[in-house]
Amino acid sequence: MSSNDDSSGGKTGGGGGSGAGTGSAASGLSRRPYLLRAMHEWMGDAGFTPHVIVDAGRTGVQVPSAYIKDGKIVLNVSLNATQRLSLDNERIEFDARFSGIVHHVYVPMVAVLGIYARETGEGMVFNEGEPDGPPPGEAVAPATRVTTAKPDSRRAKLTVVK
């Protein structure tokens, strides 16, 4: 994706309730959008480029099909690469250029598999095909970290860190 000159990358959603990471599957409040927004903000503040990994096969996902590989797509969601970026509790939505052509991108939050910083590989991976929180009474899985194979590599490698 190429960069767009847009500074209107406002975020919506959020609000009251329990803090990010403390919601439960029983409450019906997903932690995923809160954690995604927090990581996106941290990456932007640190000068990194946030990328999201999306399950392109999920219902409702609208992305340019030419860029889907193995059923997934990686999207640059930096404020410089998107226009009208919206990260709310139900979806990620924005316009962006792919090979010079503007496309509207719509990703339901359940289709977001992870977010990482292109420069460092640091980020967060969400459980694919599982609900956003553990069933009541079960322990939370250990945190995961996205790391790159080489510091200057453009391809990210996902690694579970325990």
Among 110, 106, 92, residue whose Cα is nearest residue 37: 92
97 is in which domain, residue-wise?
A: 32-159
Number of domains within the chain:
1
Q: What is the DSSP letter of 38?
A: H
Amino acid 12: pLDDT: 38
Give the separation between CA 146 and CA 115, rounded to whole angstroms: 8
CATH at 70: 2.30.30.220
Handedness of CA 149, 143, 13, 40 (dihedral sign): negative
Amino acid 52: pLDDT: 97
Q: HSE-up of 57 (CA within 13 Å, CB side)?
A: 6
Quick check: is 71 in a domain? yes
Averaged confidence pLDDT in the chain: 77
pLDDT band at residue 152 under the 50/70/90 scheme: very low
Quick check: is 1 in a domain? no
Give the separation between CA 46 and CA 142, rounded to whole angstroms: 24
Amino acid 127: pLDDT: 80
Predicted confidence (pLDDT) at residue 1 exceeds the cutoff of 50 = no
Interval 54-91: pLDDT, tens: 999 999 999 999 999 999 999 999 999 999 999 999 99
